[in-house]
Amino acid sequence: MTETNPEAARASRRVRVALVDSGVDTSHPWLVHAELRSLRVERKGEGYAVGPDDPVDRSGHGTACAGIIHRLAPFAEITSVCVLSPEGRCSRDGLLAAVRFCVREGFDVVNLSLGIDVPKGAPLRPTDYKSIVELYEIADIAYTAGVVLVASGPNASAFRTYPGRFKSLIGVGRASSDDPEFLRTEITVDWEILAPGNDVLAPALGGGERRWTGTSFAAPHVAAHVARLRRDRSDLSIQDIKAALHALAARRLEREAGLPRVSMPPAQIDHGGALSS
């Protein structure tokens, strides 16, 4: 009988990450060793289509997120799906087309450091209902298909951000930490886990670096953790992945508090994030 090397199998497993954002500058020094593909959502007649794009970034936002993912998950194959303008805006229909494409393509994880912000004090308009319901339906399809959506929550308490609020995906809030491995459970109506999102060092346009702040930069930390989990155990369900992320956060909290290790769920996690049965 042929013996299988688990480490070799893990190292050879493809993990595909989609980054729905402003594009990625693939020439940036942080990303020269990354496996990157560039696509763009464009208006075609009455609808939208996804096609090839130049390896450029319109605002720097996507390059920063790609750099965070590549730093934590250098093995991941990143596909940039550009929907944002240089001003950081996109149409809701364009966003819906991008997420539909990512779900249809069956990516292992999709990073959504963007969303629809709705003031909490204002009633939803008919156009809000339409967009949010369509996003909800896509997120539900993604959950059924095993495509992990990771979405940033609001940056201000006065807003509701969609799709980050949906419980079928992983909503992310921001915390202050210099450790890119940091995770903390915080289950609210807006998110369920925190990651570094204040003064995060990441790539900037022009080949340099800068400090970025926002939930936009917390989400790719979590997307990278999901990519690791998907590399280690491709059979995990989305609920398993959520449980594994919260177990990582709990274990970190135990270490910080100097507490004895407690038992973990059936999918056990070591300190580096790898899973074992």
pLDDT, tens digit, for every residue of 91-142? 999 999 999 999 999 999 999 999 999 999 888 888 888 999 999 999 999 9
For the segment 51-62, the average pLDDT, to the nearest whole number, is 95
What does the DSSP 8-state code read for residue 2? P
pLDDT, tens digit, for every residue of 215-253? 999 999 999 999 999 999 999 999 999 999 999 999 998
Largest separation between any pair of C-alpha atoms in the chain: 65
CA dist., res. 245 & res. 185, Å (int): 8
- Of residues 7 and 212, which shows the higher confidence score? 212
Contact 15, 231 (CB under 8 A): yes
- Of residues 50 and 6, which shows the higher confidence score? 50
Question: According to the model, what pLDDT value does residue 122 have?
Answer: 85
Rounded to the nearest 10°, the torsion over CA 73, 74, 76, 79 is: 110
Give residue 11's pLDDT band: very low, low, confident or very high (50, 70, 90): low
* 260 prior amide bond cis, ω within 30: no
Give residue 63's pLDDT band: very low, low, confident or very high (50, 70, 90): very high
What's the mean pLDDT when you consider all of the chain? 90
Taken in order 274, 174, 140, 89, the sign of the CA dihedral is: negative
**Model confidence pTM above 0.85:** yes
CA dist., res. 1 & res. 136, Å (int): 47
The mean-pLDDT minimum among 14-23, 56-65, 76-85, 264-273 falls in: 264-273
Contact 96, 135 (CB under 8 A): yes
The dihedrals phi and psi of 262, each to the nearest 5 degrees, come to: -105, 165
Contact 90, 84 (CB under 8 A): yes
Cβ contacts of 175 within 8 Å, gap of 6 or more: 182, 184, 194, 195, 196, 197, 198, 218
pLDDT, tens digit, for every residue of 149-167? 999 999 999 999 999 999 9
Give residue 270's pLDDT band: very low, low, confident or very high (50, 70, 90): very low
CA dist., res. 205 & res. 75, Å (int): 23
